[in-house]
Chains A and B, each alone.
Chain A
Amino acid sequence: MSGNRALLFIFQTLLNLKRPATLTSIFQDASRGNEAAFNAFLKTTWEELAPPLTALVGPPKEARELFLYGISILWEQLVVHQRMAPQNPSAYLFVVCKNEWLSRKKQATQGQLVYDSVQFDHQTSDLLSSEELHSKEAQQQEMEALLKEGIAQCSDKCKQIIELHLVQGRKLKSLWKELGYESYQAIVQAKYNCKKRLSNYIFTNSRKRKR
């Protein structure tokens, strides 16, 4: 009897171990270049999220574009960095897409306000719109300046990836040996680590300047 229980326990444990591995294996396979399972995941998730996203956004094309933005973030985190998948990836993805949509909507509304004010009151709005536009332009210029500074601060390896992969357009698969990486995955990781450091540099310094 106790032997049967032990077998049952082992069986259940194996079963439980198997469950989370399914989702993890999708992302692991994709990181090794086998994207078949990921593509199936992409389609199922889209089928699940298309109705609420379309309901939220309106035009289905915009909903799909938003979804693809969310997927590119998910790809970077779960496939490239191999982070643990959340309990419910599609629900998480929905929130990410929704926040992105809200952020775009906010920016668009600001633009619209500028436009509307020009329509209604020419005299005051000229001043207002130019102020607003100036602030937007200034923000863009600040980001560009920080990007340049951030790139200048990059390590030599990061600069090599930027030059050969991003500027010259060479594929990472043809570069990893040449640049002395252990594997293709290693150079992909390196690329995204450089990106992360750049993003952190921009964030930290933009905050410092605003204080």
Chain B
Amino acid sequence: MNQDSQLIQRYYRFELSEEELAAFQKRLATDTEFSTLVAQYHQSQKTAHDFYQSAEDTDRQKRWEKSLENSPSHSLEQPKNIFSWQRIAASILFLIGVGMLPFLLSDHETHNLQDLLAEAKALQPQEEWSTLRGAPSDNLEQALMADAHALYQSEDYSAALQLLNKVNDTSAYYSEAILFTALCHFHQNDHTAFLSLTENLDANVSPVIEKRLLWYRGIVYLELGETEKARAIFKQLTDQDISMGSKGHQLLQRLKAIEK
């Protein structure tokens, strides 16, 4: 038996270390010959597995299935409640923001503010997933991040959020997970969740990510019509020597012009 066959057998025996498992996954995705071998092994396993299913095995699996039906995760099968409190809160906040704008600003100013918002959104950086950049050094968390990335790209933000929530604060990908969690909220127009997440970032979030999130906070405040807060943020970005500074300055100037 060759090394690849042994590796596949070890995979099915739950014997691979985290590193070996990550390497296995990588080969499965990139090496056609290897993936064919895995498929052949899988087919043989399945044929034997199906044949060896006894009434006892079927009963056990039914018991497992029943016990899972009673577990809290079963609630996943219930239809999504579109009136969750976060959505209601975000909608109220949004409606208040939109409703208050005509009273706070003249028609001309409202129009300009909307222009500015569009400008700010156009200026926002193209966010990259650094976990996917360069030579891949796969591990399970990176695989999780890659899946989250795919969901984010396909604009399935709810599903991406579920994966991103699994990254814990000791992980090397924690900062990036926080950034993209916030961006999922941002794209979902869930301002409440976005602001609550980015308000008190913990110490594990890198300063670079913190500054990027500040930029988006500015946009969200613009969207909510809270120009004071937006101005304070763009001022902070301009004062700091970071790549977003010039864009922040640009927005600040435009904001000043609107408010004159």
Q: A71–B44 Cα gap in the complex (Å)?
A: 19
Q: A74–B42 Cα gap in the complex (Å)?
A: 15
Interface membership of A20, Cβ < 8 A: no
Interface membership of B77, Cβ < 8 A: yes
Check B61–A68 contact: CB distance below 8 A. yes
Q: What is the minimal beta-carbon distance from A177 to any residue of chain B, in angstroms?
A: 17
A46: which of B15, B45, B68 is its contact (CB, 8 Å)?
B68
Q: A166–B57 Cα gap in the complex (Å)?
A: 10
Interface membership of B55, Cβ < 8 A: yes
Q: What are the residues of chain A within 8 A of B28 when measuring CB–CB?
A: 99
Q: A39–B63 Cα gap in the complex (Å)?
A: 9
How many cross-chain pairs have Cβ atoms below 8 Å apart between A and B? 142
Which residue on B lies nearest to A75, using beta carbons?
B60
Q: What is the minimal beta-carbon distance from A193 to any residue of chain B, in angstroms?
A: 11
Which residue on A lies nearest to B156, using beta carbons?
A55
Q: A203–B44 Cα gap in the complex (Å)?
A: 5
Of residues 149 through 199 on chain A, the ones whose CB sits less than 8 Å from some CB of chain B are 150, 165-166, 169, 171-172, 191-192, 194-196, 198-199
Interface membership of B83, Cβ < 8 A: no
Interface membership of B85, Cβ < 8 A: no
Of residues 30 through 45 on chain A, the ones whose CB sits less than 8 Å from some CB of chain B are 39, 42-43
Interface size on A, residues (CB 8 A): 61
Interface size on B, residues (CB 8 A): 51
Interface membership of B103, Cβ < 8 A: no
Q: What is the minimal beta-carbon distance from B140 to any residue of chain A, in angstroms?
A: 5
Interface membership of B130, Cβ < 8 A: no
Check B14–A86 contact: CB distance below 8 A. yes
B163: which of A47, A52, A88 is its contact (CB, 8 Å)?
A52
B14: which of A67, A83, A143, A146 is its contact (CB, 8 Å)?
A83
Q: What are the residues of chain A within 8 A of B144 when measuring CB–CB?
A: 52
Q: What is the minimal beta-carbon distance from A126 to any residue of chain B, in angstroms?
A: 27
Check A95–B25 contact: CB distance below 8 A. yes
Q: What is the minimal beta-carbon distance from A37 to any residue of chain B, in angstroms?
A: 13
Interface membership of A111, Cβ < 8 A: no
Which residue on A lies nearest to B150, using beta carbons?
A56
B162: which of A55, A77, A86, A146 is its contact (CB, 8 Å)?
A55
Check B13–A42 contact: CB distance below 8 A. no
Would A172 and B64 be within 8 Å (CB), given that A88-B18, A91-B18, A146-B47 are in contact? no
List chain B positions with a Cβ less than 8 A from chain A.
5, 12-18, 21, 25, 28, 38-45, 47-49, 51-52, 54-57, 60-61, 64-65, 67-68, 71-73, 76-77, 140, 143-144, 147, 151, 156, 159-160, 162-163, 165-166
Q: A51-B162, A166-B54, A207-B40 known; 17 other A-B pairs, CB under 8 Å?
A: A42-B67, A55-B163, A77-B12, A86-B21, A87-B17, A89-B14, A91-B18, A92-B21, A95-B140, A103-B42, A143-B47, A166-B52, A169-B55, A199-B47, A202-B44, A203-B44, A206-B43
